[in-house]
Structure 1
Amino acid sequence: MDKQEYIDSGILELYVFGQLEEPEFSEVVRMSESDADIKAEIVSIEKAIINFSESVSPFLSSENYEKIRAALMLKHGVVDMAPKKSNIFLYLGYAASILLLIGVGYQYQKLQEKDTQIVNVEKERSDLQKSVVDLTLQNKESETALSVVRDNNNAVIALAGQEVSPTSFAKVYWNKNTKAVHIDAAGLPEPPEGMVYQVWALKLNPLTPTSIGLLDDFKGNSKRIFSVENANDAEAFGITLEPAGGSVSPTLEQLYTLGKA
């Protein structure tokens, strides 16, 4: 094997990394002492490793970095030829592991960002679906309110405010053909927590009240148009404020509106 083939064989790199066993190690030492080209090639390899170790030094502890440099450099940058092995592969492995962890961490962060984006898109879609449902319900309420108001077969009975709430008012839309009764409660204040408005169909002589329904979900009904039960042969209508679930008989002290049919 000529000198150039010897240099290209990789044996000098193994020598620098401390991976040669006897007698190869002693042979390289001998040839480097007698051949300037081989010695120059060894120095070139060592300098290349020093430069590389400096480039990865931010990822190594100062102690490990100094060990790498001490294994490769003397006072003037010349590597000690003594037959001892270097731990360069171990240190470079540490650096590679750290770089791998940094890469994995970066990819994990990107994955987390994508997951967050997916969650946000799902929330936006859910909010949009809720808005569509709300608009659909509002449209149905509007259609119901318009059909009640525009039905010429409906008798309209005005209910005036009473002593407990003089400014209150309501309307009864009573279709005596279909027996359908609707209450327009837009003029009633929102009931307190735990209370509900109850509608009464009244016979006047003697005074006989009959409950025909509760105005439930007052907050959720934006149009405040409620369907109640058949009024039969009612002569008047009244609305009282009662405990949640309604009462068997009206609480007259909480009579909000009253009107004759």
Structure 2
Amino acid sequence: MEAQEYIESGILELYVYGLLSEKENIEIAELAKNNTNVDEEIISIEKAIIALSSSFSPFHSVENFEKIKARLELKHGKVVDMKPTTKWSQYVGWAAAVLLLLGLGYQTMELTKTKEAISTVGNEKNKIQRDYAYLGQENKEIKKSLNIVRDIKNTGVTLGGQAVSPKSFAKVYWNQETKTTYIDAAGLPTPPKGMVYQVWSLKLSPVLTPTSIGLLDNFESNSQKIFAVSQTDSAEAFGITLEPAGGSPTPTMEQLYTLGKV
């Protein structure tokens, strides 16, 4: 530790008070011999203790007080006890009280700042964990969607927009071996409140026969807009209509949004 660090650390006060170990006392004494600034700081502390102890109720034991006083007299001659007026002592007392209050206020403020900083860090950590979990889930959904699109066993059926919504489109991924069926509904507008898209597998001959294979529920919360519907045994075409929440037993043809042949 450098000399200035000793001065600023408060260890010299402990040395003067006699609260250090023997090893530390020897170390400080040796440093004071070789460093004028340290020696002068120790003398300054000792003089301050003598002055304060002579002015009002002593904060030090008689033994420590006499030791410090004797040390000063050896170095600088007779130490004259200070006997300030009562008014001066009163001012010193008030000043000490103010300093104490200021110190407590500062410590409270710093503690509050520290607590706020810890709280902020905790909130940031929680947010990062939530974002990480969300991104992890999104990554899984993206991989799942890519696997569906890339599966060469899936037959892709494009559904074009119809009169009610010419710009709409969708795509069906149908594995005719496993019968699994997925709908890519990214080309459909968000359904109005209280309405839901319903998917139909269609047989075109000898008569048009629609079979409901599922609803595209939770449309807005599905970021990939890939929906798994019921297994499809056979289909000649697929269509998607807009129906009241819960679906309909038969398609509302006036609300046919997309249609496509296999």
Q: TM-score, normalised by structure 2?
A: 0.61
The residue type equivalent to 2:212 in the other structure is S
* Structure 2 contact 241–258 (Cα < 8 Å) conserved: yes
Aligned length: 187
**Deviations 1:110-129 (CA, angstroms, capped at 9, x unpaired):** 22212211221122111211
Number of the residue aligned with 2:126: 126
Q: TM-score, normalised by structure 1?
A: 0.62
CA distance, structure 1, for counterparts of residue 185 and residue 55 of structure 2: 94
CA distance, structure 2, for counterparts of residue 52 and residue 232 of structure 1: 102
Change (3 A) 1:111 1:210: farther
Q: Does 1:161 align with 2:161?
A: yes
Report the CA distance between 1:182 and its aligned residue.
Answer: 0.8
CA distance, structure 2, for counterparts of residue 229 and residue 135 of structure 1: 28
**Deviations 1:202-257 (CA, angstroms, capped at 9, x unpaired):** 23343332222222232333322211111222222111223333333323222110
* Structure 2 contact 199–241 (Cα < 8 Å) conserved: yes
Number of the residue aligned with 1:197: 197
Number of the residue aligned with 2:216: 215
CA distance, structure 1, for counterparts of residue 186 and residue 256 of structure 2: 16
Gaps of 5+ in 2: 1-49, 57-79
Number of the residue aligned with 2:87: 50
The residue type equivalent to 1:132 in the other structure is Y
Name the Cα RMSD after superposition: 2.9
The residue type equivalent to 1:129 in the other structure is Q
Number of the residue aligned with 1:144: 144
Number of the residue aligned with 2:47: none
* Structure 2 contact 156–171 (Cα < 8 Å) conserved: yes
Change (3 A) 1:246 1:110: farther
Change (3 A) 1:152 1:13: closer
Q: Percent identity?
A: 53
Q: Which aligned pairs between 1:3-22 and structure 2 lie closer than 5 A?
A: none
Q: Highest CA radius of gyration, 1 or 2?
A: 1
The residue type equivalent to 1:155 in the other structure is T
Report the CA distance between 1:99 and its aligned residue.
Answer: 4.8
Number of the residue aligned with 1:68: none
What SS class does the counterpart of residue 166 from structure 2 fall into?
strand
Number of the residue aligned with 2:172: 172
CA distance, structure 2, for counterparts of residue 253 and residue 95 of structure 1: 89
CA distance, structure 2, for counterparts of residue 119 and residue 244 of structure 1: 44
CA distance, structure 2, for counterparts of residue 138 and residue 199 of structure 1: 25
CA distance, structure 1, for counterparts of residue 254 and residue 89 of structure 2: 93
CA distance, structure 2, for counterparts of residue 113 and residue 13 of structure 1: 38
Number of the residue aligned with 1:234: 235
